[in-house]
Structure formats: C-alpha cells, structure tokens
A and B are shown apart, each in its own frame.
Chain A
Amino acid sequence: MLVQVAINGEKHEAEVEPRLLLVHLIRDILRLTGTHIGCDTTHCGACTVLLDGRAVKSCSVFAVQAHGKEIMTVEGLEQDGKLHPLQEGFMQEHGLQCGYCTPGMLMASYAFLKKNPQPDEEQIRRAISGNLCRCTGYVNIVKAIEYAAAKLRQGGS
C-alpha cells in the first residue's frame, strides 16, 4: 500500500505492507532513528511521536493509519539551529542518562505543554506516566519540563 506522510514538515511516501508499524516506517524506512522501541505492549512510550499534533505510541499505530497525516518526531524539535526549551531543559536539569527514553519523554511532554502550559508537579508526573525511564528516577525529568514550561511562558520559542 502507498502511504504518504509529512514528517517534520517534509513529505515522504513509501510502498508498505498493511501490517507495517508506524515506528518501523519512521525508523527503518525513513531512517529517523531518534524514535525508539522499548516494549511490545504499549507501556514504555519510547516510541512516542505526534500524529497531527496528538502524542501517540507509534508502535501501536499502523503506518497506513498515518496516511495523509503530519508526523512530528524528536528530530523536528530543533528549529533553525535553536533547541526547543524542552531539549534545553532536559540538558540543564540532567533529565536524561542513557537517553533511550528521552525522545519519547520529549514528545509526550511537548504535546502536554501545548494543552497545559502551566502545569503543577502532579500534572506533569501524570502526563509522563505512559513513558518509562529506568535511569533517572523522574525527579529531574519533572524539573526539565518545569524549566521548559517557564521558558515557553516567557515566550522562548
């Protein structure tokens, strides 16, 4: 089947099997490997991307379901050589260690901050509860998201 998507603003098309998962289209065919895979039961969130602005776990969506839609992945966060405040926040607050969960965390919190620009700690913790991190213990991830929320409110990109 032919699937056409715009990914981080760039148009792509590919001939795929109907059963191909979106995460494999992104990683193996379009070769954007920032989106990761950590499970087979929709629990870890390492594969989180935005599909028409909504955070989805791309391991649980067929590539063909993304036909005609816009996808945003971690590679699309940086704009014109400027890091997104979330990326900056993760680095400043030491919100990552092995980095494997990081792209999923970034995308889940990106979608969350769009909906809730002024979250409290509990709301942040709930918002990333579909994303597992084995390294950081989450405390600094929460701080990183708070950092980004504050910066975005001040109008930083």
Chain B
Amino acid sequence: MAPKTSPEIGGMGHSVKRKEDPRFIRGKGTYVDDIQLPGMLYLDIVRSPFAHAKIKKIDPTKALAMPGVLAVITGQDLAKYNLHWMPTLMSDTQMVLPVEKVMYQAQEVAAVLATDRYKAADGVEAVEVEYEPLPVVVDPKKALEPGAPVLRTDKKDKKDNHIWHWEWGDKAATDRVFREAEVTVKQDIYLPRIHVASIETCGCIAHFDKVSGKLTVWMTTQAPHAIRTVFALVAGHVGLAEHKIRIISPDIGGGFGGKVPVYPGYVIAVAASVLTGKPVKWMEDRMENLQADSFARDYHITAELAAKKDGTLTALRIKTIADHGYADAAANPSKFPAGLFHICTGSYDFKAAHVEVDGVYTNKPPGGIAYRCSFRVTEAVHTIERMADLVAHQLGMDPAEFRLKNFIKPEQFPYKSALGWEYDSGNYAGALRKAMEKIGYAELRREQAEKRKRGELMGIGISSFTEIVGAGPSKHFDILGLKMFDSCEIRIHPTGKAIARFGTKSQGQGHETTYAQILAEELGIPAADIQVEEGDTDTAPYGLGTYASRSTPVAGAAGAMAARKIRDKARKIAAHLLEAAEEDLVWEPGKFSVKGAPNRAKTIQEIAFAAYTNHPQGMEAGLEAVSYYDPPNLTFPFGSYISVVDIDKGTGEVKVRRFVAVDDCGNIINPMIVEGQIHGGLTMGLAPALYEEISYDEHGNIQGGSFMDYLLPTAVETPRWETDKTCTPSPHHPLGAKGVGESATVGAPAAITNAVVDALWHLGVRHIDIPITPAKVWKLLREHGVTE
C-alpha cells in the first residue's frame, strides 16, 4: 500500500527513523537504575536455598551490626500492616515475605536496607535463617496424585494441589467425531518453563514524601496505570490513596511480558520508603531475575487430531496440565485462566474441538506469564502446527499440501471457529504460497531427497500460524475487573505542533515514533511535530498497558479516534474561517479546502491557531481530544514460516540454514519497525526452540538460573532472517492494523521443530520436545541406529 501522506508528514507506511534513537545511541536514555535521588537507600533480598521449608528463625543481629545496614525487614514486620501477602493478577495470593514457610528456591525470605548496594549485599550475607526442609513437589503430575503433600496450607480448605479446571468447546460433538474418525494421531507435547530475560532486569525506586503523603515509584512496568490501582487497593488500609500514588515507567530495557506482574521486591521497597520517608532503590540481579521472576509456559499437553484418509481435518482434542508454581501469578484476562489457548484450532477449518486445562501448584516460582506472546498463544500454535505435521507425515502428504487443503478459505471470513472465536480476516494460502516461492520449496524438497540418499540429515519445516491479539473487547476482557480498553489524549498547540499521551508503555517497540505517525496520518501534522508520552500516571490517560501485542490494536486505535474527534472540530473551525458550509469542505492530509475551489483552503496549523485566537462564537476554544477505545473484536495477524535445518550426525547439533517469514499484520504503520519486531520475535522463537529451558531437579533446585546455563542466542547462532509480507487489513480496526510484536515468537518454534522432525522422520522419529539441544538429538540418533 503506497503511503497516503508525504514523507514530510510521515504518516502510515513511511519508514520514519525512530524518535527514541537519538537518546539511546548517545547513552542518554533514562532507565530505572540510572536514576539516583539524594539520600537514596538500597534494598537487597535474602533468598531461600530450599524449595520447600519451614522458617524456624530469622536472626538479623549480625546483619544489623554491619556498617551501613539500617534495617532487616521480615514477613513478621509486614504482617503488622497485613502486607505479607498480596493478590496476584489471577485472584490467587502470593507472599511478599513469608512468616511460616518458603515455597520455592530463591523465594524472598527477608530484605536488607542499607546505605549503598554493596552494604546491602553484605547485610544479606549476614542474615541468619534457620530452615526445616519439607517434602518437595516438582512434577505437576505427581502433585495431583492422592497423597501428594498439600502445598498451599495457608488456604484453609485446600486438600490438594489442583488450582482450577477449565474447558472449552463441545465435548460430546468432538468425542463423536473421534469415534467415527478414519485417522487419528495422539502426541504428548511439553512446552518447558522459560524466561523472557529482558536485558534490563526488574527494579524500582520508591519515594514516599512524608510531608505531602505522596508516593512516587519509578518502576520497570509495562502497565503503570493498572499497577497504581493495584497499589491503592492493596495498600489502601495503610493510607495510600490512588491520588497520592504516581507510577513512572521510564525507559524500559525490554519487557516481553516479564514486566507486567507485581514482584515482592517492588512492594518491599514501597513499604521501606513509607516507613523511612527516604527513597529506596531495589534492582534485582540477573540470577534473581531468572530464578524468582514470573516464568512462561510449563504446559504439559496431550493433543489428538482426527482426520479423513484424504487428509481433511475433522476434530481436535487437547488436555493440558499447567504448572503454575506455588501460585497462579499469570497475567491473563480474568475470565481466561488458560489465556487464549483456545486459539489452538489455528489456521484450519475444524468441525469440532474441545480443550481442557488444569492448573496445578508445585514448589516453583509463581507465574504463567507470556514470553513475548499473547496469552498462551505460542502453546496453542506449537501444538496445532506440530500435530498438523504429524498427520501429514503419517498420511504421506506433503506438509504444505496438507495445510493448503485444510486452511480456512479467504471467503470464509469473518470465520467462527469451533472454539468460539470470530477470526476477523485472513488469507492463509496466500502467505504460505509466498513463503514457498521465496524459499524455493520444491527445489529444497529435491535437495532433501538427494541428501537423504547420501545419508545426510536435512529438514524443512512449516508453521502457518494464526495469532490472536489486541485484548480486548470489554464484554469479555478485564484484568482484576479493569476493562481492557486503552486510551489517547491529544492536545494541539496554537502553532500547530502537538503532544499526545497514551495509556500504554513502550519497552522498545518504538511507540514515540509509530503513534506520532498514526496521528500524522489522521491529522496531516508532521510526525516530527508530535511529541508522544507514556508511562507517567500523573499525566497520561488511564490505560491497561503494553503486552499481548495490544498497543497498536487498542491504543493505536484510540489515537486514530481521538485524532478524528479533533478533525471534526477542525472542520467546524475551517468552515468558519472559510465562510463555507462544513459539508462543502474536503479533507486531504493536512488541510481542508472548499469543494471545487482548492485554493480556498486552511491548513491544520492555521486551524489550530484559530482554535486559540479566532474560534467561532459559541464554540469552546482549544483543540484537544481524548479517546478510550474499546475494540469490537480481537485482531488475528497470521503468517507462514519455513525453515531449513541441517543436522550434524556426529554432535546432534541443529543448524538453521535458512528461515523465511511471511507475515500479515494488516496495514503497516512503520515498515522498518515492523520488520525489526519480526526479526526480534523470530530470535525469541529460535531461543526456546533450540536453547532455553529452566528446569528443576527432584529437590527443586533450579537448573539454568544464570546466563552461564540459560542460553540466549547470540549473533552467531541467530540466522539471517528473511522476511516478506502480505497485507489483509483488519476490517474492524480504524486503521486496518493488527499488531505484530509477537507473531514471530509464536510462529517460529514450530517451524524449527517441524524441520528437525522432518529431517529425522524416515528414521522413525515422530516428535521432539523443545529445546532441541544437541544432546537430545544425539541420543535420538543413537536410539534410531545412527552411529556415525
């Protein structure tokens, strides 16, 4: 689509250079840890070496004797204010600091307040804690067995470790299709615990001003407004009212979902600042980040597909055990304990489907958040895309041909899925064909056949995913009761420049640039003349924040709607200035002119000036607008990815030789930024496919709790991504946009896994759980008779 505005205006479709870059390339960003306030104290945290243990005694004496250590805060101290427990976003509860027992290794046990970070760390070393170890439950399946130790003894009536059961779809109809099916396949698929590991860890500075009674918290959060409300609700009883709380989310060094929850460290820092009246900084280190912050995934899935002999898919049945650690601290919309997992029918036309998920407690950190993915969508996509390949291979069909046969057809949109979603738009075959052409699919299959004859292992994997983002319509979507709208407030200054504030918060996505482009598109004011701000709850309008690819679908739409309100008023002012009827005016980006007399025109800048200097009698002065946008539906970006892998028989190493990604996110605001988002998303798809996992031994000891053994891909492992696009605009979004930040994370792991299984299918390999490490492949090869 050619841009409608000139490059000077820089509306949609222009690869405008980012407004955020000049500060970042000079080292002049302001991240939380960059802020230093006079008299600031430092908080550090004592953590548990045990995964499950009674706390018999916490002795702060030695710590308190150390120079610079001011206080040791324990659960008992917080209990005086009833702040030792806090609610999670899923209406479960989690400890801030324990009074009785710890539930996972690295759990917060006590906090040390000191005059600098080294002294605080010294204090942590000196706190003496006596523990009595308790039996540990690591495996969620064992946690459900009768006789398993009950973990949440704090919940009076709790007799087991089961949190909730959730199911969706027509069970009877699905079972019927399965009974009559010509072909069925069944597979266990595990999506392991992983961590977003943004390069900036989490932290905050809490500053309570005793005179004004105002609490300001600079904090690594993706959702500052919701956090303010949560603080007010949780700490209202100790006198923190919402108008006395200001949350500032400054520059954020990557979020990906990990900066949505409220972590105990934030709460302890706030409590410490309220008690001392001093600013208190808490910055976790990388090991704390990996070991204690919310994890993602940990889904034990059993999936079944039913199909006809000709390859037509008929039904899908899924059962899942969701390991949530010791508390359900996911960040899903309230009504969806398993997130949007029921997008698991994917891009295919199913008659029937049924999905069940059971949440379980174990002795691991709480969570269940996203990993750069809308709520549980990667889990869904990985499952359906793996299963599609299994059936295709089993029937001897080419996986591409199989997909083309089963895709929802363009003319079926809007499409009502068997699990109740209304897909807004799509052209799945278009994206797959484009990807096949770009990568040279037929030629690769020939190459693979030749290599196979020579005993070389090469695989080609496809993933044709459907995303579901932009949460969400207020009828169904809320977090702790807060409806998931988002907002924009625009003020046009008399000289035609503007400031706009949004309820979201960029963590690298480039909102300062793309939001300005949206307003430039709608108002014809150059993007360069529009200042965008987010992340300060004292100035920005209320919004639910940035995660689940919701910024463009929801806040971006709010921006367009607010701009349109401004344009409506501008039309009235233009009519007054031009002495013409409003209906006789035509709009082109940046000006109104009189129909048939293009020279009689007023630019948006002239109109803005008049709004303050010469507005029509009876009209309010000024040119401002606010919009709170409640989306009518979610958006459904999609794409087809194809990867080519070579496997080293000697070492088991998988090398991604090529990876082609064709994405469709509807109309694009900034092509450069969209491509960057896809590159990044693909890398966060590669990461769990081949490298990342946080696992635990039987005692609940974390394996992979530092960058020593939690492997983030570097530039060496990461392939040179090849991207392309198709464009199917969203019919209900005011700009036809869909959101893109997470598509690639969601789609990529299946493309890589399918390629590896494709390379090994002839040996008898049917499935491999991610991460596909050299050790796993090496072992599989040996098991299947490859010894070389």
Contact = CB atoms under 8 A, between A and B. Distances in A.
A12 interface: no
Interface string B3-35: 000000000000001101111111111110110
A40 B21 CA distance: 27
Interface in B515-554: none
A140 B17 contact: no
Contacts of B715: 124-126, 128-129, 131, 133, 138, 141-142
B256 A32 contact: no
Question: Secondary structure of the A side of the interface?
Answer: loop
Nearest to B288: A40
A43 interface: yes
A23 to B, nearest CB: 11
Contact of A100 (B36, B253, B677, B718): B253
Contacts, number: 179
Given A41-B707, A43-B707, A78-B26, A134 B712 contact: yes
B24 A137 contact: no
Contact of A132 (B26, B33, B712): B712
Interface residues of A, number: 59
Question: Secondary structure of the B side of the interface?
Answer: loop
Nearest to A100: B253
Interface in B625-684: 672-673, 675-684
B721 A94 contact: no
A37 B198 CA distance: 12
A137 B199 contact: no
Nearest to B252: A98
Contacts of A96: 21, 24-25
Nearest to A128: B715
Interface string A104-125: 0010000000000000010011
A19 interface: yes
Nearest to A133: B199
B707 A140 contact: no
Contacts of A38: 199-201, 253, 286
Interface in B252-305: 252-254, 256, 285-287
B194 to A, nearest CB: 12
Contacts of B509: 97
Given A136-B680, A137-B718, A137-B721, A87 B26 contact: yes
Nearest to B508: A98
A139 interface: yes
Interface in A25-60: 27-28, 31-41, 43-44, 46
Contacts of B200: 36, 38, 98, 100
Contacts of A94: 18, 672-673, 675-676
A65 interface: no
A14 interface: no
10 contacts: A32-B27, A34-B28, A43-B712, A75-B27, A97-B508, A97-B509, A103-B27, A138-B714, A140-B676, A141-B715
The 7 A-B pairs at the shortest CB distance, nearest first, are namely A34-B27, A98-B508, A100-B253, A99-B24, A137-B679, A74-B27, A97-B508
Interface of B: 17-18, 20-31, 33-34, 36, 117-118, 196-201, 251-254, 256, 285-287, 507-510, 672-673, 675-684, 706-708, 712, 714-716, 718, 720-721
Given A94-B675, A100-B253, A131-B715, 14 more contacts: A33-B30, A97-B254, A99-B21, A103-B27, A125-B718, A130-B714, A132-B199, A132-B707, A135-B199, A135-B508, A135-B676, A139-B720, A139-B721, A142-B715
Interface of A: 17, 19-20, 24, 27-28, 31-41, 43-44, 46, 73-75, 77-78, 83, 87, 90-92, 94, 96-103, 106, 121, 124-126, 128-142
